[in-house]
Amino acid sequence: MHPTNDPSLRSFLEISSNSDFPIQNLPFGVFSKTAEDLHRIGVRIGDYVLDLHALSGEGWLSGEHIGNGDVFRRPVLNDFMALGKQAWEEARTIISELLREDNAKLRDDKAMREEVLLPIADVQMHLPASIGDYTDFYASKYHATNVGTMFRGPDNALQPNYLHLPVGYHGRASSVVVSGTDLHRPMGQTIAPDADSPAFGPCKLLDYELEVGVFVGTGNELGSPMTISRARDSIFGLVLMNDWSARDIQKWEYVPLGPFLSKNFGTSISPWIVSMTALEPFLVDGEAQDPEPLPYLKDNQPGGFNLHLEALVQTERMASPYRITQTNMKYLYWTIYQQLTHHAVTGCNLRPGDLFGTGTVSGPSKESRACLLELTWRGQEPLDLPSGESRKFLLDGDRLIIKGWGQANGYNIGFGEVIGTILPAVESQAKAFQHP
């Protein structure tokens, strides 16, 4: 166990016992103060943000691997990510020590505390990194089987390659947005079941996909594949992800090259990147893999994570969100380390700040289906809500919330939330259209 995961550690700050952000978490993010536009790197602790930009400016963050801490005076985390695992853990150790209840340095310096500890309610969160590339995988066998069954029948649910490699596609990094960013319903081509040609208009089958996002740290050089063991040291941390999906646009466009416009209009992520060190207590064996993967994908160490994930919806008529999905990251068939290794096996260069998604994290039960396509079985089984409404897919004004956390050793390690509301399609608001 890393010393910063010691369950006996306590902060001098008052932190609720059920907080997502105890001293054992310390996730990294980027924020700005209400009164300024400067983007600053910070760490979440309880209901506060620790301003690393200010701390480094005062010389409080320095070490063998992080140098004088100048990487914390950048507007994004990419330069810090590029330093590698030793630097990440060194910074985590220094920050943990500063926040401990038995360390007087920050605890007893009232002026410094007021400068560097900011209430979370007083800051604006931003994307934590400059995301150069974004790749989305399809790593849940349960999700792939359900979707395949809907479209090809149970006997042909999985494509022949699925049990041999992590299937993925390259997404659009420019439309990755931070939690709290609302998205317009996308426009595109769709085709009615009885039509001979497509029509253009707003998506009618808009969906969420509950995923986990993975930030690359050190990456690899062009032409240099990555081993499983190297992949373990190259991942900076995890976020929650909602990879919004336009199902009717996707159905028409995806043959033969896969998703395009149905996915590129928006991907939402939570603002705090939880480090792999903080997540060590939740490592578990992944799903059994049969047949055995090829040697470059074989991993003898635990690669799953026992992290509870849930999705909630709140319509305009509902006073509070209603949970519609309960699942767990441990249900992924292909681990994040296998995904990263496969991505780089050709020599494709992954860079600090690159992002990839696990794909929809569905599990074996109906309640663990992690998108409406599965929950309503392609719209044939509408979802009943406590407001008396029902949903096949998302309507304008619907708000979708994703939460996630692990619980071990008497504390929670959480991600907070990723939230987004669906706004009407941008067609000058002139043409109304009929929802399903």
Whether residue 326 sits in one domain with residue 192: yes
Whether residue 209 sits in one domain with residue 346: yes
Whether residue 157 sits in one domain with residue 119: no
Share of the chain above pLDDT 90, in %: 94
pLDDT attached to residue 283: 98
Q: From its phi and psi, is residue 334 left (phi > 0), alpha (psi between -120 and 50) or beta?
A: beta
Domain end point (choices 126, 157, 190): 126
Residue 322 has pLDDT above 50, yes or no: yes
Tell me whether residue 433 is in a domain.
no
Tell me whether residue 8 is in a domain.
yes
Residue 314 has pLDDT above 50, yes or no: yes
Catalytic residues: 143
* 214 closest CA partner among 151, 303, 297, 293: 303
Total domains, the chain: 2
Residue 429 has pLDDT above 50, yes or no: no
H/E element holding 240? strand 235-242
Tell me whether residue 243 is in a domain.
yes
- 3-class DSSP state for residue 198? coil
Whether residue 355 sits in one domain with residue 303: yes
Question: How far is Cα 123 from Cα 378, in angstroms, rounded to an integer?
Answer: 40
Chain segment 28-70, per-residue pLDDT in tens: 999 999 877 899 999 999 999 999 999 999 999 999 999 999 9
pLDDT attached to residue 18: 92
Whether residue 141 sits in one domain with residue 212: yes
Average pLDDT, rounded, for the chain: 95
pLDDT attached to residue 434: 44
Tell me whether residue 149 is in a domain.
yes
CA separation, residue 320 to residues 315, 316, 386, 399, 420 (Å):
9, 10, 10, 10, 15
Question: How far is Cα 297 from Cα 281, in angstroms, rounded to an integer?
Answer: 23
Range of the domain at 101: 3-126
Whether residue 309 sits in one domain with residue 404: yes
Whether residue 175 sits in one domain with residue 239: yes
Chain segment 197-217, per-residue pLDDT in tens: 999 999 999 999 999 999 999
pLDDT attached to residue 428: 58
Tell me whether residue 431 is in a domain.
no
pTM: 0.96
Question: How far is Cα 400 from Cα 13, in angstroms, rounded to an integer?
Answer: 31
Tokens at residue 187, please? 């426009």
Tell me whether residue 434 is in a domain.
no
pLDDT attached to residue 61: 97
Cis bond leading into 281, ω under 30°? no
Domain end point (choices 126, 159, 184): 126
Domain end point (choices 126, 154, 174): 126
- CATH number for the domain spanning 242: value is 3.90.850.10
Q: What is the dihedral of CA 311, 314, 319, 321, to 10 degrees?
A: 0
Question: How far is Cα 227 from Cα 294, in angstroms, rounded to an integer?
Answer: 13
- CATH number for the domain spanning 110: value is 2.30.30.230
Whether residue 166 sits in one domain with residue 18: no
Tokens at residue 157, please? 């649910």
Q: Report the chain's terminal Cα–Cα distance, integer Å.
A: 51
Share of the chain above pLDDT 70, in %: 97
Whether residue 186 sits in one domain with residue 118: no
pLDDT attached to residue 1: 86
Tell me whether residue 429 is in a domain.
no
Whether residue 138 sits in one domain with residue 105: no
Tell me whether residue 181 is in a domain.
yes
Whether residue 41 sits in one domain with residue 146: no
- Within 4-116, strands assigned E span 28-33, 40-45, 48-51
Whether residue 225 sits in one domain with residue 207: yes
Residue 160 has pLDDT above 60, yes or no: yes
Q: From its phi and psi, is residue 196 left (phi > 0), alpha (psi between -120 and 50) or beta?
A: alpha
Residue 85 has pLDDT above 70, yes or no: yes
pLDDT attached to residue 431: 56
H/E element holding 234? helix 228-234
pLDDT attached to residue 34: 80
Average pLDDT on 234-255 reads: 96
